[in-house]
Structure 1
């Protein structure tokens, strides 16, 4: 029974709508648009006053022609002449036309011919597709939200929009049914919108319009619709009145709605509803402003700039926007769209003016009226804006095929960010930078320079210029006075790139011209500036570390053994820098990769595409996931997440689990320290030592079995490591910036006031034994690590 009742409701609704659509379509197809407005002269003659350019009369009749008979009867007695001052539905016309010398000619016209293809598309196909689209919207909303009062009002708003557009042509042909349909749907359209906003915002406990105001609007809309109905069904001549009433009511109501939306947006500009009101305000202005500015308001003075059929197309933005809002209950990024729309409309204005200026200069101005030139300008302006707006999406689709080098830049930045995360010295950073630039740019030479400002003399000194020509040095000294990181300095040969700054010293990189003698293009400049900003962060951190170490070394110049508290301080600073670098990577590179991954995923879900393109995008998505994983892994290696919170044993178990996935050796851990709480420095030191030993076991020792013991014996902590790898001669093990090595392990243990011993022979494995006290004998310089909530999990 409920289903039967629903079907009966649909039939009751759709049958009259279908009959109405068929009737109006028949009017458009079979009634020729004559397009003539007439006036009654003082002598009672019917005179042609205006001729529509897109009509049968254009080229047949002329302004000033005197109509003597219409369909065989006196023109003054024709019903539509008396009522509307038009001659639509005429089949024959008798005309008196006066010549230039005053002679009069009697002409007889038969109104015939079929509707043109353009008129068919503009007046029937577009309206039919639009009405069908709104019906689909209405059914979607009804089936999903049929018990929601706001949904029912939204459906009425959809239908009134579709019927207004569909019946406009039949109304222009002075068909009574068409005029009545347009009069009621057009007048109720803004009222339905206001009613919908009232119901929709009620769920947010926000008032949009009072019940009394809403009833007043419905009453006024009914008055406007009744005036149109009365004019269509009676002999009262009310064409001018009904048109003015409809336009004034429609325009004033929408202006009032926009004012209400502006007031709501201003009220909630800092609250949770700010985005919602910005969204609705933008959609409403975009939909109604062209119709109001270019048709509705000018029509009140009889000079519409754009035909109603064209300007009404923008009204579709409102139903589409609110259908999306109501069905998804989400807001798309309106700031992203709005900022680009404003930007593209701004930069399109001057080209549109130039195009129209050239057209005016080439064509004779007398060929067109000022109104026609305004229309042409608006068309050109609109096309330019839409093209620029669509260019971003075109770029996204085609740029990879035509501009493959831009994707090399993106991959280079990802690769470079991973490499600098492992850099521990300035010289290593410079090596990484040189390799990356040479891999991307075909340049002949690169030179690192230092620009130092002397406060006493007020001069800048430039060092490292031995390989540069004198004119390049002079140009650098003149132009590089107070450069910012990432700045590119134009030089007689090549460019200067500012890659770092610390105190009074700027790090510069001179980049020679490319091998093909071409200048750097925009993408290459942007890539260099991005790489320079990465370098700037690392330079500053490395300068801080190296500066502090140099100061400590200077103070301990005469001492053979570095105190353990200094080692603890150095390791603490090193870990802090690791944490800062990991945070920078996490908050910058990783977040950017996640954003691009989500955008790509949303694009693949929202847009249909060919299987081949889908597979390619799927590969790109998998590649992004790999990059994201690598960045997370790098962040975890720089600063193990939740190390202090988990405790040493659980952190080691997690490390072992990860190593078992990446390596082919087994790990066993024996411990009695599950209840012992080590301090932060001890936990981190043991963790780093185990990391280095596991790294050595996988990359160098080729071990298959690793045994680790961690025990407390009295007030001492004992650690024993043993593997079955190929072993090594300890004297030949060298340190590098990538590996902590034996010296690093020794320094770690010394920072804990402990002792360490190494045992190894070729093909007999590698063994480490160390011990350190639970309470260090010296506490000077100790410091815990700060919060790691910024790091990747």
Structure 2
């Protein structure tokens, strides 16, 4: 009921003010009394009806058929407004005094319609709409009440100024009250708004004083209207103007004070934005109209000065309803950069435009010249701006360096990502290192089932409002797109079918909105991540296809096994290189340091023997690491060939083991492919390991011959085995691996064994398998293996 009654009052006042503005013509003439008590025209403001018709020095005799002293606007405010006819006396150059009667035009003039009625009315309607929006969104917040009052007082002050200028009594009271209360309501809003940050702004006693002064100003204005006596006759301007200026300067002082205190914490942006918004909104009005008016000077009309006030409600409406701030540092850096960039073309356009317009050519010729000149300068500007953006823009926006460095770092790291969890962890680390945000989480959003928490994210921290917003926006998600949510921001980082991987970022700590550079950086991260997501899913699909192939064939096909063995060899070489270049070298360094200490220092005999034991143990570890590296990466295997490589292997094996190896080979072993050479070497390695560990053999016979294929024969005198046990891969992993390696090369293998009578193995490999012919044997060289 209160809201409805308040709305009715606002509408009635707006209708009344509209009627008083539209029905009367603004005359704009100030008068004063001369030494003889006559009313003399002092000045007429340019743009109003009286300008050029009522001249300074004209003696006003009658207004609307009565004495000028009896006319209400003359008696109360020393101006002529609301008159229908004006009779005046004017001294002519020849000394004759001429009596002139002027008939004032009815209604508002077309030349004043825009500034006096249309813009003020639109502003009032806009502020009323803002007020309604705030009430619907935040009616439970006490700060909303003061924000609404600030909006409406600003709107009515702007709209009633024209009615007050026409000396309408109610319009005068409305303008005085609303204009005086604008800064007071604004202070109350700021005071209440900052309480949510536990930040006191203005003491209660200050508000009591401001409201008392406002009440006194309104009372003085009412007395002036009713009696025609101005209690504050010594002031050039209305008392509401110096009060308006003082309260705004007080507000600016308090904002500067708060900004200095919080210039290095999270509230810095809040006070910086508030201070700059207040300066941009109120200072043009104060400096260009308010202060000059105190000294009787008019630089610009109040209608023009009031236009700057329109920026204030928009800024605070956004701050209050979204609880976010503009990234003022980002805006100022870009604004300053573009001001500097625009200076040169603006100067050129102004200079050439002035030269062109001074020419006395045909009008259309000058317009063509002006068009060509502006077109050419703008083209040069846009062309030059690309270079300026590259060279100078980072100087104005330091974050550009951080964003570029982040992208370079991230693109390097994702090359080593093998799992989705690793990718998401990298993304979280990168976001937390660049943006002022504490909470991030990954969500999976399915177009059919909606969002759910990722298995690697704490989705419980994601607000319910964010989940609901993502559910509503599921139909329009796309990789790289940002989704506006009630709390923070969501970015689509990847996609698999109808499922999207969405990164949720909470609001920034400094409560600013994500700026354009940050959004662009997030979009680039998303595009990088989407490619990695796609590759990871391709790998998952490949693994699924391989598993299905295993199930269909009850084992892997030869090409799959070859791929697996090649990958395994690559990892062996990589691990061997790491061991050789890190652990082995470190061991050698410490071994040499230990030897140096033992040789260069005298020490007790028992300590020396202890160190000798340590040195021998360290030397054993070095030999073990070296042998491990040689086994994992046989040295010079390709250069020596299979026969010489096996010879070296047998020499080392007999040193470490208790069996004797008899090695026979035909003389015409041709050069084998690198893959076959490595496969035969690994097979013999595994057979020797089996002979030593399981067979307990004392004699091992190995032979290689080549005809139309490569044939490897193995025989030992060990304990033997039941051939049925070969099916148990857990008991004989080595022999099972040999079978799989032979099958990967499309060869054949036969086992012959009886318990107590040793083991015989016969392996036959084709010189060039069908699969190798199709794929090309050269592709299996070390340099082309994966990794």
TM-score (norm 2): 0.52
Partners of 2:24 and 2:193 in 1: how far apart?
Answer: 42
Aligned equivalent of 1:320: 314
Cα 1:27–1:684 shift into 2, 3 Å: farther
Alpha-carbon deviation of 1:10? 2.8
In the alignment, is residue 228 of structure 1 matched against residue 221 of structure 2?
yes
Partners of 1:145 and 1:322 in 2: how far apart?
Answer: 13
Instruction: Decide which of 247, 250, 256 is 2:241's aligned counterpart.
Output: 247
In the alignment, is residue 217 of structure 1 matched against residue 210 of structure 2?
yes
8 Å Cα contact 2:40/2:59 also seen in 1: yes
8 Å Cα contact 1:75/1:81 also seen in 2: yes
Cα 1:147–1:733 shift into 2, 3 Å: same
Instruction: Tell me whether 95-104 or 288-297 shows the greater mean CA deviation.
Output: 95-104
In the alignment, is residue 15 of structure 1 matched against residue 59 of structure 2?
no
What are the Cα deviations for residues 144-169 of structure 1, in whole angstroms up to 9, with x where unaligned?
22221111111111111111111110
What are the Cα deviations for residues 219-267 of structure 1, in whole angstroms up to 9, with x where unaligned?
2222222222222232213586483421111111111111111111121
Instruction: Decide which of 59, 63, 67 is 2:56's aligned counterpart.
Output: 63
What are the Cα deviations for residues 369-412 of structure 1, in whole angstroms up to 9, with x where unaligned?
xxxxxxxxxxxxxxxxxxx9xx9xxx9xxx9xxx9xx9xxxxxx
Alpha-carbon deviation of 1:342? 3.6
8 Å Cα contact 1:224/1:242 also seen in 2: no
In the alignment, is residue 742 of structure 1 matched against residue 735 of structure 2?
no
Partners of 1:529 and 1:178 in 2: how far apart?
Answer: 54
Partners of 2:232 and 2:349 in 1: how far apart?
Answer: 40
Partners of 2:187 and 2:390 in 1: how far apart?
Answer: 50
In the alignment, is residue 188 of structure 1 matched against residue 232 of structure 2?
no
8 Å Cα contact 1:656/1:667 also seen in 2: no
5 Å-filtered alignment, 1:165-204, equals 165-204=158-197
Alpha-carbon deviation of 1:94? 1.3
SS at the partner of 2:772? coil
Alpha-carbon deviation of 1:732? 4.0
Instruction: Decide which of 299, 309, 312 is 1:305's aligned counterpart.
Output: 299
Ranges in structure 2 where 5+ consecutive residues have no aligned partner: 359-373, 394-400, 436-477, 486-519, 557-567, 577-631, 633-727, 747-768
TM-score (norm 1): 0.52
Alpha-carbon deviation of 1:353? 7.7
Partners of 2:573 and 2:321 in 1: how far apart?
Answer: 53
What are the Cα deviations for residues 551-584 of structure 1, in whole angstroms up to 9, with x where unaligned?
xxxxxxxxxxxxxxxxxxxxx9x979xx99x989
Cα 1:334–1:523 shift into 2, 3 Å: closer
Instruction: Decide which of 772, 776, 782 is 1:728's aligned counterpart.
Output: 772
8 Å Cα contact 1:124/1:166 also seen in 2: yes
Partners of 1:306 and 1:634 in 2: how far apart?
Answer: 59
Aligned equivalent of 1:370: none
Partners of 1:206 and 1:171 in 2: how far apart?
Answer: 39
In the alignment, is residue 153 of structure 1 matched against residue 192 of structure 2?
no
8 Å Cα contact 2:480/2:526 also seen in 1: no
Ranges in structure 1 where 5+ consecutive residues have no aligned partner: 1-7, 365-387, 407-519, 542-571, 604-622, 641-653, 672-677, 690-708, 736-740, 749-793
Aligned equivalent of 1:659: 542
Look at both structures and tell me which one has the larger radius of gyration over its CA atoms: 2
Aligned equivalent of 1:335: 329
5 Å-filtered alignment, 1:634-783, equals 656-659=539-542, 666=549, 727-729=771-773, 732-734=776-778, 741-744=780-783
Aligned equivalent of 2:99: 106
Cα 1:244–1:354 shift into 2, 3 Å: farther
Cα 1:47–1:522 shift into 2, 3 Å: closer
CA RMSD after TM alignment: 5.4
SS at the partner of 1:318? helix
8 Å Cα contact 1:83/1:238 also seen in 2: no
8 Å Cα contact 1:287/1:317 also seen in 2: yes
Partners of 2:293 and 2:354 in 1: how far apart?
Answer: 26
5 Å-filtered alignment, 1:347-366, equals none
8 Å Cα contact 2:32/2:78 also seen in 1: yes
Alpha-carbon deviation of 1:348? 5.8
Aligned equivalent of 1:125: 118
Partners of 1:723 and 1:624 in 2: how far apart?
Answer: 49
What are the Cα deviations for residues 97-124 of structure 1, in whole angstroms up to 9, with x where unaligned?
1122222211111112442234222212
Aligned equivalent of 2:25: 32
What are the Cα deviations for residues 607-658 of structure 1, in whole angstroms up to 9, with x where unaligned?
xxxxxxxxxxxxxxxx9999867633666899x9xxxxxxxxxxxxx87524
Alpha-carbon deviation of 1:218? 1.7
SS at the partner of 2:80? coil
Instruction: Decide which of 276, 284, 288 is 2:282's aligned counterpart.
Output: 288
Partners of 2:546 and 2:299 in 1: how far apart?
Answer: 74
Number of paired residues?
A: 483
Partners of 2:69 and 2:18 in 1: how far apart?
Answer: 30
Aligned equivalent of 1:778: none
Aligned equivalent of 2:262: 268
Aligned equivalent of 2:618: none
